[in-house]
Structure formats: C-alpha cells, structure tokens
Chain A
Amino acid sequence: MLTSEEWMVLGLSLRVGLVCVLLSLPAAVILGWVLARREFRGKVLLDGLCHLPLVLPPVVTGYVLLLLFSRRGVLGGFLEQTMGFQVAFTWKGAALASAAVAFPLALRAIRLAIEAVDPRLEHAARTLGAGRLRVFLTVTLRLAAPGLLAGALLAFARSLGEFGATITFVSNIAGETRTLPLAIFTYINRPGGDAAVARLAILSVILSFAALVAGEVVARRMRRT
C-alpha cells in the first residue's frame, strides 16, 4: 500500500513526534507546576519566555536553535565534545525543533490542569504526613493526568505538522530529517509530484486524525476511573 519511501517518512515522523513528546513533557510538567503554584519575582518574564515559540515565526525558532546547537554553537559544541552527540542536521535535531515549538502548547495544557487541582487537597495530603514531592506525585500530578495527556497529544500533533523550525535547523535530508510536511514540500516543488503529494497529504490527515481519536479514547477512559 505504501512505498518504501513513504514508510520511511512515516516512521521518521512518528519517531520525531515521540521524542518530541519525551523532550517537551518533563520540562512542561516542571514549569507548569512552577507557573501554577509559585509566586516569585520575574514570573511574568518566565511566562513570556516560555510562550515565545508559540508566537515567534518558526523560522526564527529554528534559527535560534541553529545558533545554539550547530557544531560551533555554545550547546552544540559542548554536546559533541562531552558526549559525541550531534544534533544539527540529524533526526534528533528535528525532534528538538519540534519540542521547542510544541513546548508552549504542552505547558499551557499542563499548567491549566495543575491550576485546576484544588490546592487544599495538597494541604490535606501534607497534614496526613506526605512531603512536597510525594504530594506532587500522588495528588497533583495524578489529578492533572488528563491535562498531561492532552499536553502530550498536543505536542505530538504539533510535531507532526512542524515545518519551519525543522527545515531551518536541520534542513531537508531524505531519511534523516525529511518528515511528512517536509516530504510534501519536496514533492510540491518537483515536476510531476502531484500524485505523491496527494498520497502523503492523505497519510498526514489519517495520522493526525488517529492521534486525536486515540487521545479522546484514553481521556474518556481516564475520566471514568
């Protein structure tokens, strides 16, 4: 049904999406809690900084990543020297670009979910002898789980559609960084690529739709228990 190239593009897109979720979710949980529960000087600034990728042109996000993570960039050089880990122009870079762009979406969902947890439930848990971390894990996070799931889903879906930051940061390398949107873009620019574009577009619709339905099914199950 699918050509081997299409399988490759699909597999890469899924892999990038999953790693994007794994990268953005922990940071979104920690910062979501900080923004929901703590009051401190400069909170507005941190809030703004976290949401910047949401309003910034993705190309600019990609450019900033390029500055930071290219082999001569501050972080990129450090990663390569200490761990031999290269991000620029690899699929890991594509996941990182997705994560940067998807992070504010995940953060928003998780922050709202944590804000919706009655802080007095946390107080009750503490008077029962649970320390801060235990309360966070057994009460706050557990009750915010549907929001966590929504955040993960948003991040995954955003990653499936990521284009601008990715192509700026890691370019468009077949088999390495050519995810679904980039493949569609490639075929659009190629004479006679119409059929391939249509097939990939349908694939993209099915994938996004499946992600939404799966998320809704899990969310319903969570609400029931």
Chain B
Amino acid sequence: MLSIRVKRSLPGFALEAAVECPYPVTAIFGPSGAGKTTLLDLVAGLLTPDDGEIRLNERVLFSSETGLNLPPEQRRVGYVFQEDLLFPHLTVMENLRYGYDLLSTDSRRFEVGPVVDLMGLSGLLDRRPARLSGGERQRVALGRAILASPELLLMDEPLASLDQELKDRIIPYLRHIRSDLGIPILYVSHSVAEILELTGQVIVLKAGRVLAHGDFFHVVRHPEVLPLAEAHEFENVLPVEVVAQDGARKGCRVRFGNQDLRVPPCDRPVGSRIFIGIRANDIILSRKQPEGLSIRNAMRGRILDMQDVDGKQLVYVDVGKRLAVEVTLEALEELGLEVGDPVMCLVKAHSIRIGPNAD
C-alpha cells in the first residue's frame, strides 16, 4: 500500500495531498496543471517534498521528520512516462535489460523472456527505438519498467500520445500488469474512458489539491468533478441492469430506464447492476427514428442544453439521465437543433464500454 502525505511548492503552483492507495490500480484524474505529474515525481523521488511522508508498503521513502529521502534508484518505484523515453542509443533488448541487469539475481521478480512475451516484443529485440512505432515504443517502456522489479508502477498518461486504435491495443497489456504480475499502479490520466478500463478507484486533483478520492462512480457525483469528467473525452456513465446474456458473438443486453441497449460481451450475470460508459463523440444525433441502419441502440430524449466547451460542441440530451453528445458545428447548424427538441441518440454496441459493478 502506498500512503502519501506531501506538500511541495513550485514557482506559481503548490501541491498539497494526503491520500492512501490500497487498491491494485489507483487513477489520478484532473485537468492539466492540477499537479498530477508533480505528485508522481514526488513519489518517484525526482522531486523532493517540502514537507510530509511517503510510505510504500512498510518502507519509508521520504520523511521530512527523520530527514530520510531515498534517491530514485533505491525506491523500487517504476515510472512510465507520457513520452516513452527509451534510450535511443540502445536496442530494444538493451533497453529492456537496463534496470534488470542492475538487480541482484535474487531481487529479480520477473524474467526477460516472459515479459518479452507478455508485451509482445519478441520480433523487435534487435531494433533501435527510432525504428519502432508509437505503440511498440510504449510497450518497450512498460517492459523496461517491469523488468526493474518495481514494487509500484507510476504511469503518467502512457497512452496520451497514441491514437484510439493503439490505446485499445495497449490497454490489455496494462490489465496484464495489474492482474498477472500483481504490481500496484498509480495511473495518471485525464481520460475517464481510459481510467474506467483499468480501475474504479480515482484521486481527483485540481489546482494542487485533492478534490475527491474513492470510487469513480461516487466521486463523479461531486459537483466539481462531473464537469471535469464530461470535459475530458466526454464519457457518459450510465447505471444499467444486465437483462440478457446472448453469448460471445452477440454480446449482452442491458436495460437503462425503459430502453434496452445492446453492449459488448461481458461476464456479469443477468440481474447484476453495472455501469456502462459511452463517449460523447461515439453518439450520433438523429431527429427521426432511423431506418436501414446497422446501429442497434437508439435512445429517445429531449435536448436540455447546448454548449461550446473548449471548442467542442456539446449537446446535452435528457434520456432519463443527462447524456453529453459531441457534434460538429456544421451538424449543429444543419440539423437546426434547439433546446427542447426531441432527438434520438444512436450508439453502436461496440462503442459502449463495460464499467465496474454498480453495487
């Protein structure tokens, strides 16, 4: 377990946080400049707190009281950065072994072979980072951090520089780290969608302070957190009940209010209450009930509000719950939408994400 109680002031900014992270994955969520990276740097030892204490399991990493401040190389805290920061002069194999080779044999928790397999790197070992794709580079960075046998992994928006397709391909690897390797992770992201793929536990930071801390679906009700969540990848979170399991090919059906939605296959039993996530830009607005479309899910609603958030046009539709829908300015003008208009919200089954249990 990681416990953090730190204060640190930087020019024009001050961070003060006291949190405990007993979960396998804890996400740190917040807008840019909230202090997410600063918090990770403090845990890694790349920055020194002005005051406080950082403990990892039973080890004290930093204590202003006793004056103890372990250097980064003695903390056994792995760090995966937003840019992969691979050593450009070393091959993939040499990158992977950089931390591994510095460990004594009995302090190595993972071996090179299995990690190479897990991260799908076996064909790339002799290459230099310059000859890798973005997704490959980030997988090497993950493997390199794992092979240093950390007791905690810090990840600072490791997927932020990748496109959606690559993100979807890397996330299973992150789940492997969490589930198969048992390394606890502190995961910084400003994408709610990404966080929900990995965990329900979040720390919400804003302007250097912990705004909220705990289960995402409780935290998100906080009046200051909700707009943040909506403004970052505009993830809508709906509480639903699983009503039918139609097998691996057809997926399952869930009920939201009085409408049924088809969602990807999930392993929750019929009758369980879960959360699903739908990204605002995965929803299509239509004035009429569509015909001849392959889309399975159509939710009927009424427009509550329309806003321009950071240059993105958001239409809020009441479908039994407030749903944020992102549309282009052109579409908005062409459809001539007004507040109060009835609309259909169309969602492909496969763009719906299965979240954690609601109970």
Which one, A41-49, A84-92, A123-131, A186-194, is touching chain B?
A123-131
Proximity string of chain A (141-180) to chain B, C-beta cutoff 8 Å, 1 when within and 0 when not? 0110000000000000000000000000000000000000
B98: nearest chain-A partner, CB-CB: A128
Contact A128 B85 (CB under 8 A): no
Per the bound structure, the CA–CA distance linking A107 and B77 in Å amounts to 35
Residue A216 interfacial (CB < 8 Å)? no
Contact B87 A139 (CB under 8 A): yes
Contact A129 B81 (CB under 8 A): no
Contacts of B46 in A (CB 8 A): 123, 126-127
Contact B77 A128 (CB under 8 A): no
Question: Which single member of B75, B77, B98 contacts A125 (CB below 8 Å)?
Answer: B98
Contacts of A134 in B (CB 8 A): 102
Contacts of A221 in B (CB 8 A): none
Residue B275 interfacial (CB < 8 Å)? no
Contacts of A142 in B (CB 8 A): 89
Residue B18 interfacial (CB < 8 Å)? no
Q: How large is the interface on B (under 10, 10 to 19, 20 to 34, 35 or more residues)?
A: 20 to 34
A129: nearest chain-B partner, CB-CB: B102
Per the bound structure, the CA–CA distance linking A153 and B78 in Å amounts to 39
Residue A5 interfacial (CB < 8 Å)? no
Per the bound structure, the CA–CA distance linking A220 and B148 in Å amounts to 34
Chain B binding surface SS class: loop
In chain B, residues 96-112, which have Cβ atoms closer than 8 Å to a Cβ of chain A? Answer: 98-99, 102-103
Per the bound structure, the CA–CA distance linking A208 and B54 in Å amounts to 58
Residue B117 interfacial (CB < 8 Å)? no
Size of the chain A interface, CB-CB below 8 angstroms = 19
Per the bound structure, the CA–CA distance linking A225 and B73 in Å amounts to 28
Contact B87 A121 (CB under 8 A): yes
B147: nearest chain-A partner, CB-CB: A128
B95 CB to nearest chain A CB (Å): 10
Question: Which single member of A123, A124, A129, A225 contacts B103 (CB below 8 Å)?
Answer: A129
Proximity string of chain B (44-85) to chain A, C-beta cutoff 8 Å, 1 when within and 0 when not? 111000000000000000000000000111011111010101
Contacts of B71 in A (CB 8 A): 126, 131-132
Contact B72 A123 (CB under 8 A): yes
Residue B88 interfacial (CB < 8 Å)? yes
Proximity string of chain B (263-275) to chain A, C-beta cutoff 8 Å, 1 when within and 0 when not? 0000000000000
Contact B88 A124 (CB under 8 A): no
B128: nearest chain-A partner, CB-CB: A225
Per the bound structure, the CA–CA distance linking A88 and B148 in Å amounts to 54
Contact A121 B85 (CB under 8 A): yes
Contact A128 B88 (CB under 8 A): no
Proximity string of chain B (154-189) to chain A, C-beta cutoff 8 Å, 1 when within and 0 when not? 000000000000000000000000000000000000
Contacts of B103 in A (CB 8 A): 129
Question: Which single member of B76, B81, B102 contacts A124 (CB below 8 Å)?
Answer: B81
Per the bound structure, the CA–CA distance linking A8 and B75 in Å amounts to 59
Chain A binding surface SS class: helix
Contact B85 A124 (CB under 8 A): yes
Given contacts A123-B46, A123-B72, contact A128 B89 (CB under 8 A): no
Contact B102 A118 (CB under 8 A): no
Contact B89 A130 (CB under 8 A): no
Contact B79 A130 (CB under 8 A): no
Contact B85 A126 (CB under 8 A): no
Residue B144 interfacial (CB < 8 Å)? yes
A153 CB to nearest chain B CB (Å): 20
Residue A38 interfacial (CB < 8 Å)? no
Residue B21 interfacial (CB < 8 Å)? no
Contact A120 B81 (CB under 8 A): yes
Contact B148 A143 (CB under 8 A): no
A137 CB to nearest chain B CB (Å): 12
Residue B145 interfacial (CB < 8 Å)? yes
Contact A127 B78 (CB under 8 A): yes
Contact A127 B72 (CB under 8 A): yes
Question: Which single member of A118, A130, A138, A143 contacts B85 (CB below 8 Å)?
Answer: A118
A131: nearest chain-B partner, CB-CB: B73
Question: Which single member of A124, A127, A131 contacts B77 (CB below 8 Å)?
Answer: A127
A225: nearest chain-B partner, CB-CB: B89
A29 CB to nearest chain B CB (Å): 17
Contacts of A120 in B (CB 8 A): 81, 83, 85
Contacts of B75 in A (CB 8 A): 127
A80 CB to nearest chain B CB (Å): 44
In chain A, residues 40-93, which have Cβ atoms closer than 8 Å to a Cβ of chain B? Answer: none
A142 CB to nearest chain B CB (Å): 6
Please report B residues at the A interface, Cβ cutoff 8 Å: 44-46, 71-73, 75-79, 81, 83, 85, 87-89, 98-99, 102-103, 144-145, 148
A-B contact pairs, 19 of them (CB 8 A): A120-B81, A120-B85, A123-B44, A123-B72, A123-B79, A124-B87, A126-B72, A127-B44, A127-B72, A127-B75, A127-B79, A127-B145, A128-B144, A130-B98, A130-B99, A131-B71, A138-B98, A143-B88, A143-B89
Shortest Cβ-Cβ A-B pairs, 8 listed: A128-B99, A126-B72, A127-B79, A124-B85, A129-B102, A128-B148, A129-B73, A129-B99
Please report A residues at the B interface, Cβ cutoff 8 Å: 118, 120-121, 123-132, 134, 138-139, 142-143, 225
